[in-house]
Chains A and B, each alone.
Chain A
Amino acid sequence: MTIGVVGERRDGKLTRESCEAICRAVQLKKQLAMSVELVLMEPKGVFDSPWIDRWGADRVVVYDLADSERWNMERKLSILEKYVQETKPAVLLFAGSIQGQEFAPRLATRIGASGLVDCVTVSADSKSKGLSVTKPIYGGNAYGEYCVMTPCFLALRARQIKLEEKGEVAIPVEWREAVKAQGCDSIVSRRLQSAAGHDLEDKKILFVCGRGIGNKENLERIKGIAEISSAGVAGTKKAIENGWLPLEVLVGQTGKILAPELCIVLGASGATPFVHGIAGAEKIIAINKDEDARIFEVSDLGRSDDCEQVIAAIERKLEEIL
């Protein structure tokens, strides 16, 4: 019996969310006594055999999909449908990406399996012989625990599991033909209009700006500081609503879930849906005028001060150093 993991590759390697999904599958592997199969859709020849796996997967199944079809969601869904019909996995995990969150419920409905999105923990439930899955509810102020029977398709939330390398192992790769071009007739064109924020996940240092930074000028100053340290810059819902930053860099429950090594939060009060977006950060430094702000309940280091004052102090220090 198989646990499938629908993974994604970007810039020539597996995305972090895909690796997290494999790690989750490997946890389940022991509990369910099943094997773990990574499922990809890539143009033929884009990587060589053998596949070097570091997370504990047993084999890779790749469907030949031309690069021009990368964004053809309808086609990709049909391919996955075919995969499920061929392999009948008991559990299919999807990486914690926008694509994964869309595919899991749609595919589950097509197949007649159960589906859940934004899953935080997944484990075998010996009582029901199914799985026990938890996910956030009520804006992240609470969690729901669900009992799901197999076959089930689960889209994971990103950054909920620590990546554990298991050493490099060469595993077999099987290339399969994708279904005949079955997309959607009514789609005339698709093109990427803007590509902001797609590399935020890789940044080790992240600056998150909330409404408290005050104005766009301060944002530019923060961007300047971020650039010096190769850090990323993201924003809370309020910062995006003010038009300071684009939607693509929204951090929070319904935006990006990031887990940098160092997260510096300026002028955000720490509302629960936002905090969920940075909860996985190793170290959080927060600056907020209000010393009772909830952000200080989740930070390691804090300062109650006007953001502009802190920005000015940092700029001064950096000038001295550089």
Chain B
Amino acid sequence: MENQKVLETFEQMVGKEFVQTEEAILQEYATDITGLRMVQKHFGWKSENLAQCIVKIHTKEEAVEVLQFLNQEKIVSVPRTGGSGVCLGLETPKGSVVLDLSEMNEIIEINEENLTVTTQAGVALERLEKVLNKKGYTTGHFPQSLPLAQMGGLVATRSIGQFSTRYGGIEDLLVGIEGVLPDGELVRIKNIPRKSTGPDLRHIWLGSEGTMGVITEVTVKIFPMMEERCMQAYAIDSFHTGLAIIREIVQAGWKPAVTRLHDETEAAESYGPFMQPGESMLLFLSEGPKGYATLEGNAIQAVVEKYGARALGSKPLELWLKHRNDICDHLDMYAKQGAVADTCEISAMWSDIGKIYTEVLERAKAEVPHLVAITGHSSHSYEQGTNIYFMMGAMCAPKVEAAQKTYDQLFGIIMETTLKYNGSICHHHGVGRYRAKWMKQELGSAYPMLEKLKMAFDPNGVMNRGVLLPVDEK
């Protein structure tokens, strides 16, 4: 069907003012806030693969109608809410249609008896938190993208927050969900605390990144705001010792809401005056019902002291709390300074994570010319392992291709090293389009399971083509 007819159909479905085709807007929606593109934009990057239009969706009925039509006409669509993805998950294939649900933003119900909140997909997390805080509740979900992200995207990318070691990631917080399948069928999974009724279908939505349908409504847990907090920071002489400390704490059964280990470069950069050269920084924040925070805090103290860590008080935590999301304010700072920079988070079992960290740093320093920095921190820990969030930057010529080359090299080192030691290529940012090329290696023999799911839900291959599963160029 020709472009004009497509636009007219959408205009009939959602109203003329909610179908946007101006080039400036299409460029704005052409990608997300992936570090690579932020830098390249500075060097003049513009998308050559603009969508044909943006369709703003306000009701689930509209979503149903639109998706049915798209499936019929075999037009690729890109579902989008907050736009804060960092893996090119929202980069538009040429001629696709962006389904923008950011204005579908009603908070439907706060249920204090069940401790849940139900919202439409376009509700901003920041707004939801404010509304809940006023009533004494919290979502417990604090990703760094909090100032930008919305509920649909947070579920679709399997996001995680800074307090996850206590509250869990989005997969632990999702109670029920409603969405529209690629063929236009509206499906709802009801709210239940736990059930044994076949595979947990919520997990098809969690991490789907727009490839299995469009999320229209979510129900997530809420928690009463905790009364007490215990914050303590420690300096430790080695990153690996820091990892051992965290392992002991979580394996003993403690769950400090914030459990972070920053390597010496990060520690010096953010907490310089507190650190001695070579020291890594441990940050712990415990919160819970009355008595809990102190109990956990004391237990943590006992463990760290055993390893000879140096107590730094709570000031580093206060600083971290205040400034943790500042980066959202200046995402293009590095580009202005002539560097291509980004972050990359991976995870692994305890027995492998230390090796991954060490080898990534070694390789980056040896192989990447004009490297400015490569650093890592652990921010989400489990009994079986933890994540490492790498931050990397290198100077490059102010050209789009130069930035791509350097970026690919840095990222490639992290991916290869992680896979070498049986880690997972992505802990919480999502696969997007950028990491799709490593998915076969990542899933190994399990890859066909994902393929079959995709074929079952989206046989025409129109939902967010290129994301999660690589597109074979035949």
A289 near B329 with CB under 8 A, answer: no
User: Does A291 touch B at the CB level, under 8 Å?
Assistant: yes
Report which residue of A211, A238, A289, A291 has the largest number of chain B beta carbons within 10 angstroms of its beta carbon. Answer: A289
Nearest residue, chain A, Cβ from B134: A291
Size range of the chain B interface in the assembly: under 10
Contact among B24, B130, B329 for A211, CB-based, below 8 A: B329
A161 to B241, CA, bound (A): 60
B329 surroundings in chain A (CB, below 8 A): 211, 238
B130 surroundings in chain A (CB, below 8 A): 291
User: Does B126 touch A at the CB level, under 8 Å?
Assistant: yes
Q: How far is the CB of A211 from chain B (nearest CB, A)?
A: 7
B24 surroundings in chain A (CB, below 8 A): 217
Q: How far is the CB of B412 from chain A (nearest CB, A)?
A: 32
A145 to B44, CA, bound (A): 50
A21 to B126, CA, bound (A): 47
A38 to B228, CA, bound (A): 63
Main secondary structure of the interface of A (DSSP, over half): helix
A113 to B126, CA, bound (A): 55
- Interfacial residues of chain A within 233-249, with CB under 8 A of chain B in the complex: 238
Q: How far is the CB of B37 from chain A (nearest CB, A)?
A: 16
- Interfacial residues of chain B within 131-190, with CB under 8 A of chain A in the complex: none
A211 to B130, CA, bound (A): 21
What 0/1 readout, one digit per residue, does chain B (1-39) give for beta carbons within 8 Å of chain A? 000000000000000000000001000000000000000
- Interfacial residues of chain A within 271-309, with CB under 8 A of chain B in the complex: 289, 291
Q: How far is the CB of A322 from chain B (nearest CB, A)?
A: 22
Q: How far is the CB of B128 from chain A (nearest CB, A)?
A: 13
A217 surroundings in chain B (CB, below 8 A): 24
A211 to B328, CA, bound (A): 11
A291 to B130, CA, bound (A): 9
A217 to B126, CA, bound (A): 24
A291 surroundings in chain B (CB, below 8 A): 130
- Interfacial residues of chain B within 312-335, with CB under 8 A of chain A in the complex: 329
Q: How far is the CB of B42 from chain A (nearest CB, A)?
A: 11
Q: How far is the CB of B142 from chain A (nearest CB, A)?
A: 15
A291 to B126, CA, bound (A): 11
What 0/1 readout, one digit per residue, does chain A (196-238) give for beta carbons within 8 Å of chain B? 0000000000000001000001000000000000000000001
- Interfacial residues of chain B within 90-129, with CB under 8 A of chain A in the complex: 126
Q: How far is the CB of A287 from chain B (nearest CB, A)?
A: 15
Nearest residue, chain A, Cβ from B130: A291
A259 to B379, CA, bound (A): 46
What 0/1 readout, one digit per residue, does chain B (396-410) give for beta carbons within 8 Å of chain A? 000000000000000
A238 to B24, CA, bound (A): 22
Q: How far is the CB of A305 from chain B (nearest CB, A)?
A: 10
- Interfacial residues of chain B within 390-443, with CB under 8 A of chain A in the complex: none
A238 to B336, CA, bound (A): 14
A111 to B80, CA, bound (A): 67
A238 to B330, CA, bound (A): 9
B126 surroundings in chain A (CB, below 8 A): 289
Q: How far is the CB of B147 from chain A (nearest CB, A)?
A: 8
A106 to B329, CA, bound (A): 38
A238 to B130, CA, bound (A): 25
A139 to B451, CA, bound (A): 57
Q: How far is the CB of B225 from chain A (nearest CB, A)?
A: 15
Nearest residue, chain A, Cβ from B28: A215
A211 surroundings in chain B (CB, below 8 A): 329
Q: How far is the CB of A296 from chain B (nearest CB, A)?
A: 14
Q: How far is the CB of B409 from chain A (nearest CB, A)?
A: 29
Nearest residue, chain A, Cβ from B25: A217
A253 to B353, CA, bound (A): 48
A238 surroundings in chain B (CB, below 8 A): 329
A155 to B24, CA, bound (A): 47
Nearest residue, chain B, Cβ from A242: B332
A289 surroundings in chain B (CB, below 8 A): 126
Q: How far is the CB of A212 from chain B (nearest CB, A)?
A: 10
Q: How far is the CB of A304 from chain B (nearest CB, A)?
A: 8
Q: How far is the CB of A160 from chain B (nearest CB, A)?
A: 31
Q: How far is the CB of A209 from chain B (nearest CB, A)?
A: 15
- Interfacial residues of chain B within 361-385, with CB under 8 A of chain A in the complex: none
A264 to B24, CA, bound (A): 28
A211 to B329, CA, bound (A): 8
Nearest residue, chain B, Cβ from A211: B329
Q: How far is the CB of A54 from chain B (nearest CB, A)?
A: 46
Q: How far is the CB of B84 from chain A (nearest CB, A)?
A: 14
Nearest residue, chain A, Cβ from B329: A211
A289 to B130, CA, bound (A): 11
A291 to B329, CA, bound (A): 17
A160 to B31, CA, bound (A): 48
Nearest residue, chain A, Cβ from B127: A289
A211 to B326, CA, bound (A): 13
A217 to B24, CA, bound (A): 10
A238 to B329, CA, bound (A): 9
A211 to B24, CA, bound (A): 20
A141 to B61, CA, bound (A): 54
A173 to B224, CA, bound (A): 75
A238 to B404, CA, bound (A): 28
Nearest residue, chain B, Cβ from A304: B130
A217 to B22, CA, bound (A): 13
A95 to B43, CA, bound (A): 43
Nearest residue, chain B, Cβ from A238: B329
Nearest residue, chain A, Cβ from B336: A241
Nearest residue, chain B, Cβ from A216: B24
A190 to B329, CA, bound (A): 37
Q: How far is the CB of A310 from chain B (nearest CB, A)?
A: 15
A196 to B97, CA, bound (A): 42
A65 to B203, CA, bound (A): 80
A217 to B329, CA, bound (A): 18
Q: How far is the CB of A12 from chain B (nearest CB, A)?
A: 42
A315 to B126, CA, bound (A): 26
Q: How far is the CB of B365 from chain A (nearest CB, A)?
A: 31
Q: How far is the CB of B121 from chain A (nearest CB, A)?
A: 18
Which residue numbers of A lie inside 8 Å of B, CB to CB?
Answer: 211, 217, 238, 289, 291
Which residue numbers of B lie inside 8 Å of A, CB to CB?
Answer: 24, 126, 130, 329
5 interchain pairs, CB-CB under 8 A: A211-B329, A217-B24, A238-B329, A289-B126, A291-B130
Q: What 5 A-B pairs are tightest by C-beta distance, nearest first?
A: A211-B329, A291-B130, A238-B329, A289-B126, A217-B24
